[in-house]
Amino acid sequence: MLSLQPSSAAAPPNLSSTSKLSSFFNPVKTLKPLRPNHPPPIQSVLQWNRKPQLAGETPRVVVITSGKGGVGKTTTTANVGLSLARLGFSVVAIDADVGLRNLDLLLGLENRVNYTVVEVLNGDCRLDQALVRDKRWSNFELLCISKPRSKLPIGFGGKALVWLVDALKSRQEGSPDFIIIDCPAGIDAGFITAITPANEAVLVTTPDITSLRDADRVTGLLECDGIRDIKMIVNRVRTDMIKGEDMMSVLDVQEMLGLALLGVIPEDSEVLRSTNRGYPLVLNKPPTLAGLAFEQAAWRLVEQDSMKAVMVEEEPKKRGFFSLFGG
């Protein structure tokens, strides 16, 4: 496998030379393959030889939210969370989607959840008993608020979640670098609870008008709650549809929401396959395009960086015989 030379110490992994995704990504400082005529296999893009610089105060408490359901919040939580763990940061992911909890399924940890936050608050178990360590990355832990299909426990609100975050900060093992909260859909009590302890938000949206309208509403609510650091992930993007003008471009989305862009994730059938296997996409070898895009988003999250939306490139025009003569 080829090794890559980073052109700059500050460069996040770059995909432009290797993948179809090039049209989505800001052409940030390029990583040059040693043999430029032979593009490296896609997995070599993941061979970063530096760790991203963690910006901001830890623990970074990040809520993953959207307004509309089914746009990819849980997928983002699982993939960005595990990417952060792979980059060496300690991560606690809180599944705050009470009743419809499925982060445990996406992570393949559903059989290991014996206790939830409800039992911790009732004094039936200790906090560390409710933390489920990932099978692959021991610096990633999952915490579920309640058992599946149960309602939000009476009296459980923002204050309880703030208490929980404080308890995580003062653990004997030390405070985690990231606490990621998977938010429920909608803007009712569950949403308010999930955003209360957060200092920053990742807004997941798909490039369609209903998702954007909800995202816009949620942005207003997050700002009202004092969360100023809001970045967005545009998920399920299809270049073919954008080219055919059947889908809004990422640039359009950015103009409509006016938010900094953390990542652009293409539509990828591997997402569903990995969900069903309980094996997050970012762990796939070789990685898929969506996996790489999540990995890049995690990198930017660490460094509090963002990307520019670029317009989908036009196909290079075929040069006909007459074009050689300027025709």
Interface with ligand ADP by CB under 6 A: which residues?
66, 69-75, 185, 235-236, 265, 267-268, 271-272, 275, 290
Which CB atom, from 161 or from 204, has the smaller least distance to ligand ADP?
204
Q: Provide the residue count of the chain.
A: 327
Amino acid in position 234: V
Q: Which does 174 bind (CB under 5 to 8 A by kind): ligand ADP, Mg ion, none?
A: none
Which CB atom, from 24 or from 40, has the smaller least distance to ligand ADP?
24
Cis peptide before 12 (omega within 30 of 0): no
Which CB atom, from 11 or from 105, has the smaller least distance to Mg ion?
105
Shortest Cβ distance from residue 101 to ligand ADP (Å)?
A: 10
Which CB atom, from 84 or from 121, has the smaller least distance to ligand ADP?
84
Which CB atom, from 69 or from 153, has the smaller least distance to Mg ion?
69
Shortest Cβ distance from residue 206 to Mg ion (Å)?
A: 14
- Alpha carbon distance 115, 177 (integer Å): 23
The residue whose two tokens read 């499925």 is 102
Shortest Cβ distance from residue 9 to ligand ADP (Å)?
A: 30
Quick check: 235 binds Mg ion (CB under 5 A)? no
Which CB atom, from 272 or from 311, has the smaller least distance to ligand ADP?
272
Q: Which does 75 bind (CB under 5 to 8 A by kind): ligand ADP, Mg ion, none?
A: ligand ADP
Q: Which does 267 bind (CB under 5 to 8 A by kind): ligand ADP, Mg ion, none?
A: ligand ADP
178-182 vs 60-65, strand pairing mode: parallel
Nearest to 6 by CA among 43, 44, 32, 45: 32
Within 196-288, residue ranges assigned H as helices are 209-224, 239-243, 250-257, 269-277
Question: Could you give the C-alpha distances from 51 to 11, 18, 302, in angstroms and in order?
Answer: 11, 21, 10
Give how many residues touch Mg ion by CB under 5 A: 3
Quick check: 74 binds Mg ion (CB under 5 A)? yes
- Alpha carbon distance 95, 150 (integer Å): 13
- Alpha carbon distance 281, 277 (integer Å): 10
Q: Which does 249 bind (CB under 5 to 8 A by kind): ligand ADP, Mg ion, none?
A: none
* Tokens coding 206: 């798909």
Shortest Cβ distance from residue 242 to Mg ion (Å)?
A: 25
Nearest to 253 by CA among 214, 227, 291: 214
Interface residue list for Mg ion (CB under 5 A) = 73-74, 97
